[in-house]
Amino acid sequence: MLEYFFRRLLGAIPTIFIIILVSFFLIRLAPGGPFDFDKTLAPEIQANLNTKFHLDEPVYVQFGYYLKDILQGDFGPSFQYKNYTVTELIAQGFPVSVQLGLSAMALALLLGSAAGILAAYRQNSKFDYGVMTISMLGISVPNFVMAPILILIFAIVFSFLPAGGWNDGAFQNRILPIVTLALPQIAYIARISRGSMIEVLRSPFIRTAFSKGLPTFYILTRHALKPTLLPVISYMGPAIAGIITGSVVVEQIYGIPGLGRYFVQGALNRDYTLVMGVVVFYGVFIILLNLIVDLLYGWLDPQIRLQARKT
Amino acid sequence: MNDLMPCGKQATMTSTKSALIQRLDNEIKNMSPLAKQILQLISLCAYILLASANCHAADVLAPNQVLHRGNGSEPQSLDPHKSEGVPSANIQKDLYEGLVCESPSGELVPGVASSWSVDKKGMRYLFTLRKDAKWSNGDPVTADDFVYSWRRIVDPKTGSYYAQTLAPVLNAEDIIKGTKKVTSLGIRAIGKYQLEVKLKGPTPYFIGLLTHSSTYPVHKASVEKHGNRFARVGNLIGNGAFVLKEWSIQSHILLERNPHYWDNKNTKLDKVYYYPIEDQSSELKRYRAGEIDIVEGIPISQMPWLRKNLKQDLRLTPYLGIYYFGYNVTQPPFKDNKKLRQALSMVIDRKVLTEKILRTGELPAYSWVPPNVANYQQVEYEWKAWPMSRRIKYAKELIKQAGYGKGKPLSVEIRYNTSENHKKIAIVVASMWKKHLGVKTKLHNEEWKVFLANRKTKKHTQVFRSGWIADYNDAFSFAELLHSNHGVNDSGYSNPEYDALLAQSAKEADIEKRRKLLQQAEKILLNDYPVIPIYYYMSKHLVKPYVGGYEDNTMDHHYSKHLYIKAH
Amino acid sequence: MAEVKSLSPGKQIWIRLKANRAAVTSMGLIGLLILMVLFAPWLSPFNGEDIDYEAIAAEPSLTSGHLFGTDSLGRDLFVRTMEGSRISLAIGLVATLVSLIIGINYGAIAGYFGGRVDAVMMRIVDILYAMPFMFFVILLMVFFGRNIFLIFFAIGAINWLDIARIVRGQTLAIKQQSYVEAARIYGASHWHIIQRHIVPNLLGIVVVYITLTIPQVILVESFLSFLGLGIQEPMTSLGALVSEGANEMESYSWTLIFPAVFLSIILFCFNFIGDGLRDALDPKQVK
């Protein structure tokens, strides 16, 4: 297991290198630089700034500098937020994004799989259609429509939740963003778990269990739950990555100091180091996440575990 | 105080009010008699309220003096010499204090300098600093602090974006270019509390410049100790009415009262929160939920709703800025084709644009320099007064002479940077060109930095949107923009006659003569049609009725030290 | 049972699909909507570009002819919504096709050749999976502007990974079948076998994939529109209309409601059709 873990980590190195390479050159290809404003800088000042950030040297030399720094764990100073380093910014923004993303995912997992499993148990009943239709609403309404509507209802009309802001992570400030993030995920998870539950219910060992006269609740939780959740788990890896990188909209609407907002602002302002830092950091994060999901999957499904050992 | 102090501000205040009444009257004209009477009554009341807002002696203060301000985007830095943009400047106004400060209505008042005098030529200033001005750690603010700070701004090594602010100071431009030593800057401390500043030419707006955040002093010892990290919580030592307490990036910045500030007894707020909120709709929702007291920007699409529901909180004030479209006159089709440029400018119905599309009270622009600029009187296009039909007829003739018409329709491209507002204006202008002149217009939306880069290189642009907000209250702030050597002259406009007039005005000490020179220059500029003035900017805020001490002003500067929370 | 067995697999799927009322209704609705989007603008006296200064942000009304009202520039919202739906559907379709073409060929080649080719190709897919793609799309849109083809390409390029994986798995199974063996013995080229024998057998999954990817693509596009990186005016998309409408929902609710209803219907229907198709095909096969 440990060996597998490290082998996967080693295998990730070329991946990370490619991510660095692509994003480094992509952002430098972009028209406009970090020190272009609607006012023009005096040439001498511009030159000084360029020297300070190595921007006056050929791109491959800059890339060398960057690789060297990053190997030492240094993402460099932010071009935009002059008093901070990129590492500091990521350290501030990432925990916020992760907390939101994971809470939303946990909520979605709970509600989504419960809805999906129950719908599957009563397949093609009114309950099934009802649950699936409601959950589909979460997919069909984009979050930038859902969020203002939620704010309008809960913050302005009934005014028992804040309309935005982070407030150092106070509980009431988290509720609306988490719900907004969770809604589409509830729908996806409900669909996946419904499909997989239908399949599991048809499988011989469950039929046997029913024929033995075991209580339904017992069968569902003890026998059917684990195999039903397998596809859900394999969905979770990319979904968590997606929910965290995709929370840009939610962060923007609710004014949350997460990493997605840094990224968009950084890209717009040509904050080379910040954009690079966020992309690279997320690349590593996604790799780790996929690895964890694979391990979890192996733990749930013995067949896969064997295969993993063989390869 | 000083005979050079522009008196235009006063005029601005009154004209704002009368413009408001005027607008109300216009609206009233289209209503039923009863509604008219009611509205006139309301507007009368509003006017009385507006007038009485200035005498706030009777206000009862709330026990909890905490203010929550929306602040657009995250400030780049709180180092006044290393930042750019309004969000940084807003906070720096509270953290630092320059030689000169502003009253709530925007008049220039003493800051760290308690008084100043200027010689006859207008080129040598002598500032007397107040002895009770202190840094937030208790150190006295001295003349040497200003010498150090001003040298720091113009030093190319600092990499200050606003080094040009001090360009009028003797040798500043050469230092910025790297051809002269930093110590040659025309600033000198005479003892601890006297400061002598030499200028390279008479600059009537120089005192006004000193309210700009880039001229603020920094605390030498802590800058040298902390370097790049000086403008952070714990390290930042300022001389303003507030000190930095918390800085949570993309979330909030918290300032607290500075007990060492010389005028601390008149500071009423104990805490000020600044929130970076780029999304104006979100900002408005937080305002409505009572989380924010002052809104930095208003989404124009919400204007009808706001007029209906939050009219009393709306603060719409003209300020010194112009929204315009520029022609790239270095490339076809606009190169050497003045008639074409004139035709396109004439058929834009600015009244429809401002009244039907924007609906936020912007005034249509027919000149380059906005109204209410100190020591200036506007020069406008004569066709401003013509009815649209006559303008269109005239423009059709022009475009025919320019070589375009039925057989050879003109197709142009408008470039604009991403914004709901710019998009709307570009669409409407395109439709006016199409309707009146048969011009085919392609819209081209770009992100800010891409847009800037293309605008500067002048290769791909044809018509581009632009805007300019004055750094100081003087016509020169606008005039210099189209000087052939100016860095923001993205039109590529170049007229030696115009440049000569500007150069002449920079040497002229007599205000009356200087004004005539600048007006002459503007006339030439307008007649050459390198730009299409569209409207003059308005500052747009929402201010809770319980926020006291807030006054509209043309520079849109609102220092927290003037504000307070009324009991409510 | 015996009767069913004698039917072709396509017919069997069709029968199972017909039993799924939600899917059938959705198919009907989508068909209607496509017809409407293509032809209804001709019936309207307005076009999507003309500004009616007398009817800026006018409410929906039968008498004025502005069935859905007008937007804040006085353009007819009915026509704009139709045009927006057209663009959104086109983006969904084209981007999905882009990802299909890349994904199917990539997956089929990897699965068919197997061995080292397969290992290398799937390694590349693994690498790409770790890319924060949404970020790259944002970067592309920020830097290189709002070109409709760029949107197609960028979104299509994200989605091909999933289909490549699925197709590879399927191909591994199909290539063991006797008819593929037979073709190989008769000396058919690899390319011929992949195009003639393997790809056609993937049709089932592909259809499911299309119906489930189109709504995702439409959502991604609307997300870009919200960030201000969407399509170039005067063209519009449902995403652009909805994000505009969301900003003015309290002033002019209709500018949100009509485009949002269209967007939701499209997303809803495609998702139901996809689910129905997946159920109708053997669910095991699909995964």
Backbone angles phi, psi at B202, to 5 degrees: -65, 130
Lowest mean pLDDT among A274-283, B242-251, B379-388: A274-283
Sheet holding B194-198, edge to edge: B113-118, B124-129, B194-198, B187-190
Partners of B352 on chain C (C-beta within 8 Å) are 53
Number of domains in chain B: 2
- pLDDT at position B285 over 60: yes
**DSSP sequence for B62-106:** PS--EEEEE-SS--S-S-TTS--SHHHHHHHHHH---SEEE-TTS
Using one digit for the tens of pLDDT, what is the confidence trace for A226-255?
A: 888 888 887 887 788 778 777 888 998 898
A264/C129 Cβ within 8 A: no
| Residue with more model confidence, A203 or B198 | B198
Check residues A136 and A172 and name the one with the higher pLDDT.
Answer: A172
pLDDT one-digit tens code per residue, C122-142: 888 877 777 777 777 777 777
Asked if the C-beta of A95 comes within 8 angstroms of chain B's C-beta atoms, the answer is: no
In a domain, B51, yes or no: no
Average pLDDT over residues A22-39: 81
pLDDT digits (tens, 9 = 90+) for C32-66: 999 988 888 787 888 878 888 888 888 888 888 88
Confidence at residue B256, expressed as pLDDT on a 0 to 100 scale: 96
Residue B255 lies in a domain: yes
The predicted pLDDT at position B58 comes to 63
Residue A51 pLDDT: 83
With 70 as the cut, is the pLDDT of residue A256 above it? yes
DSSP class of B169 = B
Domain membership flag for residue B328: yes
Average pLDDT, chain B: 87
CATH architecture of structural domain A86-310: Orthogonal Bundle (1.10)
Q: What is the CATH number of the domain that holds B341?
A: 3.10.105.10
Q: How far apart are CA B95 and CA B216, in angstroms?
A: 10
pLDDT of C5 > 50? The answer is no
pLDDT tier, A2 (very low <50, low <70, confident <90, very high otherwise): confident
**B522's tokens:** 């503007």
Q: How many residues does chain C have?
A: 287
Confidence of residue B348 (pLDDT cuts 50, 70, 90): very high
Q: Which of A140, A246, A283 sits opposite C130 (nearest CB)?
A: A283
Question: B459 burial class (0-12, 13-18, 19+ CB within 10 angstroms)?
Answer: exposed
List, as one string, the DSSP characters of A146-162: HHHHHHIIIIIIS--S-
| Residue of C94 and C18 predicted with greater confidence | C94
For chain B, say whether C145 makes contact (Cβ under 8 Å). yes
Partner-chain residue, chosen from A45, A92, A167, that has the shortest CB–CB distance to B249: A92
Contact list, C129 vs chain A (CB under 8 Å): 238, 286, 290
Instruction: Please indicate whether, in this complex, the C-beta atoms of A23 and C215 are within 8 angstroms of each other.
Output: no
Q: For residue B217, is pLDDT > 90? A: yes
Q: How confident is the model at residue A1 (pLDDT cuts 50, 70, 90)?
A: low
Torsions phi, psi for B11 (to 5 deg)? -60, -35
Alpha helices in B319-419 (DSSP H): 338-346, 350-352, 388-401
- Pick C182 or B127 by higher pLDDT: B127
Does the distance separating the beta carbons of B352 and C53 come in below 8 Å? yes
Band (C282; pLDDT cuts 50, 70, 90): low
Confidence (pLDDT) at A301: 67
Asked if C287 contacts C47 with a C-beta cutoff of 8 angstroms, the reply is no
* DSSP single-letter state for residue A109: H
Of C228, C234, C252, the CB nearest to B443: C234
Within 10 Å of residue C211's Cβ, how many Cβ atoms? Answer: 24
Is-cis flag, bond preceding B387, omega within 30? no
Asked if B249's CB is within 8 angstroms of A32's CB, the reply is: no
- Domain C9-43+67-285 falls under CATH 3.40.50.620: no
Closest Cα to residue B404, out of B454, B347, B449, B474? B347
Query: What pLDDT shows up at residue B325?
Result: 95
Query: Among residues 243-302 of chain A, which lie with CB inside 8 Å of chain B?
Result: 252-258, 261-262, 265, 268-270
Q: B126 and B229 share a domain?
A: yes
* Residue among B109, B91, B114 nearest B207 (CA): B109
Mean pLDDT (whole number) for B34-60? 49
| B561 and B466 both lie in a single domain | no
What does the pLDDT read at residue B275?
Answer: 95
Range of the domain at B131: 66-297+544-565
User: How wide is the angle at C-alpha A203 spanned by C-alphas A198 and A209, nearest 5°?
Assistant: 105
* Amino acid, res. A72: Q
* Chain B interface includes A231 (CB < 8 A): no
Tens of pLDDT, residue by residue over C240-258, are 999 888 888 888 888 889 9
Tokens of A24: 């480094």
State whether B504 and B359 are in the same domain.
yes
More confident call, A268 vs A307:
A268
The answer on B247 and B119 residing in a single domain is yes
Token pair 């998702």: residue:
C271
Q: How big is the CA angle at B166 (ends B163 and B172), to the nearest 5 degrees?
A: 85
Residue B302 lies in a domain: no
Q: In the 3-class helix/strand/coil scheme, how is chain C assigned residue by residue?
A: CHHHHHCCHHHHHHHHHHHCHHHHHHHHHHHHHHHHHHHHHHHCCCCCCCCCHHHCCCCCCCCCCCCCCECCCCCEHHHHHHHHHHHHHHHHHHHHHHHHHHHHHHHHHHHHHCHHHHHHHHHHHHHHHCCCHHHHHHHHHHHHCCCHHHHHHHHHHHHHHHHHHHHHHHHHHHCCCHHHHHHHHCCCCHHHHHHHHHHHHHHHHHHHHHHHHHHHHHHHHHHHHHCCCCCCCCCCCHHHHHHHHHHCCCCCCHHHHHHHHHHHHHHHHHHHHHHHHHHHCCHHHHC
Contact B285 A163 (CB under 8 A): yes
B106: left (phi over 0), alpha (psi -120 to 50) or beta: left
Domain of B180, CATH number, reads 3.40.190.10
The per-residue pLDDT of chain A, averaged, comes to 84
> What's chain C's average pLDDT?
81
Yes or no, beta carbons of A282 and C127 under 8 Å apart:
no
Given a contact cutoff of 8 angstroms between Cβ atoms, the answer to whether C223 and C205 are in contact is no
Tokens for A269, please give them: 């302002």
Sign of CA dihedral B115, B116, B117, B122: negative
Chain A nearest-CA distance from B312, in A, is 19
Most confident region among A103-117, C97-111, C192-206 by mean pLDDT? A103-117
Is B513 found in the same domain as B554? no
pLDDT of residue B39: 45
